[in-house]
Amino acid sequence: MGDSPSSASSAAPAFSEFRSHAPGHWPEVSRDDWNDPKWQLKNRISGLGALEARMTLTDEERAGVLLAGNKLAMSITPHFFNLIDVDDPACPIRRQVIPRLEEAWSAPEELSDPCGEDSHMPVPGLVHRYPDRVLFLVTDRCASYCRYCTRSRVVSGVGEQHLETQWEAAFRYLERTPQVRDVLLSGGDPLLFSDSKLERILSRLHAIPHIEFVRIGSRIPIFLPQRITPALCAMLRKYHPLFISIHSNHPKELTSEVRDALGRLADAGVPLGNQSVLLRGVNDDAETQKILVQKLLRCRARPYYLYQCDLIAGSSHLRTPVSTGVDIIEALRGHTTGYAIPQFVIDGPGGGGKIPINPDYVVKREPGRITLRNFQQEQFEYPDPTPVPASEVERLKERASEPVSQ
């Protein structure tokens, strides 16, 4: 139904360089205003009129925008909107943030809470699924809204369910749960908070002795790189070890502004990992993925996860077969540095956690040996270790006890 995505691979090489797209559709805006994150947030595209003033929508997109208010709000920062090819309905940036009517239909396999987070909350807003770490949902708002959002049930404030975070109850739970050593702040996007509010959260967590490090999951560096100020970076530097997981899906998103923002975080000692979602018509070919992961390394962000798109209600037009992700990983392995290869994972539907999915490099298993293949389809046998014979151990002991000649 509607537009079929064009091949991303034919255009991918054009996205290998870092470019600024400012001011784009806002030529009248001063440089100071453009670089002000508050101006960017105030001037987000969030309604049909503002969208149609800058581009011609397809019938499917127009219907999607009209229906979006019942599920997940539309909001696009000017910075990110400038990346959209307004003349190409199959533009990979466009497909990520402009609603389509397909969102209003749910496939039989789709779930409102695809990762089973609600059933793993000891207190509202805190998800404790893995033994030693928790997910702390600190906000339901983002700078822009991805149409494949895993938490579309609670994010943006327009759905039937609303995020409830009981702050003091969550902190008390963390204080009395010593097995928790790792806290991931997410939502929504924690970097939407002011520096002072974010610091209050970080300092509270930092004061809990058994919490060894904190992670922040954020797409702000991609949607709103102007937010990554020297003052923010100086504040974050005080709370190491602190990691940030960014979210970039396509190399065009890595603009010169994004590169510089990530550089400021890296210079502040913040390790950066990238989490991508595999999306049909966006990044579901090996060439686009190769340019993305190599460009990420140039930004000092290591590709971390490539997610199979969760079974989010209304996402079937964006999801790919699992085999697509396996094929992409196989096409990367051996053809780029290992630092550039993310782990392809599926979040077990309903709360199973992250399950790694890899190409099958094991050809055969036999007692005492395994037969493997490499990226060139060559086969190699790797034996189990041979125990050192007891007689050889004794012989070597005798040899070691012999006088050493001067």
Residue 30 has pLDDT above 50, yes or no: yes
DSSP secondary structure code for residue 109 in this structure: T
Catalytic pick among 146, 233, 299, 309: 146
Radius of gyration of the chain (CA): 24
Contact 62, 95 (CB under 8 A): no
Contacts of 63 (CB under 8 A, 6+ apart): 100, 101, 104
pLDDT of residue 4: 45
pLDDT in tens, 165-186: 999 999 999 999 999 999 999 9
Q: Residue 392, CB half-sphere, CA atoms under 13 Å: how many?
A: 4
pLDDT-based confidence at residue 69 (cuts at 50, 70, 90): confident
Contact 265, 236 (CB under 8 A): yes
Answer yes or no: 130 catalytic: yes
pLDDT-based confidence at residue 70 (cuts at 50, 70, 90): confident
Using DSSP bridges, classify how beta strands 213-217 and 242-246 pair: parallel, antiparallel or unpaired.
parallel
Residue 6 has pLDDT above 50, yes or no: no
pLDDT of residue 13: 67
Answer yes or no: 151 catalytic: yes
Catalytic pick among 91, 115, 149, 233: 149
Contact 289, 248 (CB under 8 A): no
pLDDT of residue 2: 42
Catalytic pick among 130, 173, 239, 304: 130
Contact 331, 323 (CB under 8 A): no
Domains, the chain, ranges and CATH? 12-103 (no CATH), 118-356 (3.20.20.70), 362-401 (no CATH)
Answer yes or no: 146 catalytic: yes
Answer yes or no: 305 catalytic: no
Instruction: Report the C-alpha gap between 284 and 289 in whole angstroms.
Output: 8
Answer yes or no: 347 catalytic: yes
Catalytic pick among 115, 142, 233, 299: 142
Beta bridge partners of 369: 366, 383
For 190, 244, 245, 311, 402, the CA distances from 240, given in Å and listed in that order, are: 17, 11, 15, 35, 53
Catalytic pick among 113, 140, 284, 310: 310
pLDDT-based confidence at residue 1 (cuts at 50, 70, 90): very low
Instruction: Report the C-alpha gap between 192 and 37 in whole angstroms.
Output: 10
End-to-end CA distance of the chain: 87
pLDDT of residue 405: 72
Determine the average pLDDT of the residues in 141-166.
94
pLDDT of residue 7: 43
Instruction: Report the C-alpha gap between 283 and 250 in whole angstroms.
Output: 6
56: how many CB neighbours lie within 10 A of its CB?
11
Q: What pTM was estimated for this model as a whole?
A: 0.94
Catalytic pick among 140, 189, 285, 347: 347
Residues, the chain: 406
Residue 403 has pLDDT above 90, yes or no: no
pLDDT in tens, 253-306: 999 999 999 999 999 999 999 999 999 999 999 999 999 999 999 999 999 999
87: how many CB neighbours lie within 10 A of its CB?
8
Among residues 205, 187, 189, 199, the alpha carbon closest in space to that of 233 is found at 199
Contact 131, 177 (CB under 8 A): no
Q: 103 burial class (0-12, 13-18, 19+ CB within 10 angstroms)?
A: buried
- 23 preceded by a cis bond (ω within 30 of 0): yes
Q: Residue 97, CB half-sphere, CA atoms under 13 Å: how many?
A: 31
The distance from CA 36 to its chain's CA centroid, rounded to whole angstroms, is: 25
Catalytic pick among 94, 100, 133, 153: 133
- 281 preceded by a cis bond (ω within 30 of 0): no
Catalytic pick among 62, 95, 151, 264: 151
Where are any strands of DSSP class E within 102-205? 126-130, 133-137, 182-186
373: how many CB neighbours lie within 10 A of its CB?
15
Among residues 195, 175, 275, the alpha carbon closest in space to that of 239 is found at 195
Beta bridge partners of 223: none
Q: What are phi and psi of 81, to 5 degrees?
A: -60, -35
Determine the average pLDDT of the residues in 345-362.
96
Residue 110 has pLDDT above 60, yes or no: yes
pLDDT of residue 12: 59
